[in-house]
Amino acid sequence: MQENNHSNDQSAKKKVLPKRIILVRHGESEGNLDTSAYSKIPDYKIPLTEGGRAQSRLAGSHLRDLISGNGSCPDWRVYFYVSPYERTRSTLREIGKSISKKRVIGVREECRIREQDFGNFQVEERMKAIKETREKFGRFFYRFPEGESAADVFDRVSSFFESLWRDIDLNRIHKDPSQDLNLIIISHGLASRVFLMKWFKWTVDQFERLNNLGNCEFRVMELGRGGDYSLAINHTDEEMMEWGLSPDMIQDQKWRITGNKADWNNHCTWYLKSFFDDLDSEDDVESNRYSFPKKYSFPKK
């Protein structure tokens, strides 16, 4: 009897991964339509347009069809993480009109997936000049005056990752393993790209080539047979190429459908080559060994 109880306890503690993690950018906002809005309204209060609300309702319908398998999957649930901004919360409200509340396990407002901070009120002409400078400097490391860089967003999204994995590891949001759980993260364009960068270990150079998500566009990461998540299950090569993924990155997404996570380093030789010269043998290493000049001596401690 005790052995059976121990076995039940162990199975209850077993980590159950979500079937999908879906990143959704908010619908069209007043700021997307007219950038002068940012000079009069705080960024976090910028509302959706009527078109943005319609986009969000349509996205909700598409999401429901996706996660229900167009009705073929009877037992699915969703858990939402949402940025605290007005436009993301409104997007969630409109998406929610397509999903029965009995399907919603929970929702959490998450400040760490908020929009990149561009400063306070944004003067239109000044911001135009600043963004031109950012293109010259590099989008990832350029920090807006009184605001954030994409690298800063990366740091807080990384902190969110730790909380997300604790929720998954401790089964806080997935009580019934028989149900397909879908995590839907309603956020912003840059935060979503940084999330993908962190998840798939993309380099800064690869990030710089990514294109932004359109309003209410979403990226679906689905769990593959090898225990890893992939964009290639629900998205075509053409789509991923339009997003800015290179052929190597697309091939990696395909490998993740069936590949074992533990074998990733062996599979992704192209990733290693982005950091090292192509030295195939010990002889190559020996021939490149650096010899210090005779007069050179290491500094004494």
- What are the residue numbers of the active site? 26, 115
Say how many C-beta atoms besides its own lie within 10 A of residue 255's C-beta.
19
Q: What count of other Cβ atoms lies within 10 Å of the Cβ of residue 176?
A: 11
Contacts 24+ apart (CB under 8 A), 122-127: 122/35, 122/38, 122/39, 122/43, 123/39, 124/35, 124/36, 124/38, 124/39, 127/35, 127/38
Q: Two tokens at 25? A: 């950018």
Q: Which of 10, 21, 2, 15 is nearest to 231 (CA)?
A: 21
* Whether the Cβ atoms of residue 256 and residue 228 lie closer than 8 Å to each other: yes
Pairing between β-strand 20-25 and β-strand 218-223 as defined by DSSP bridges: antiparallel
Enter the tokens of residue 8. Answer: 């039940």
> Which residue from 247, 249, 154, 284 is spatially nearest to 276, judged by alpha carbons?
284
What letter represents residue 125's amino acid? E
Distance from C-alpha of 280 to C-alpha of 58, rounded to nearest angstrom: 52
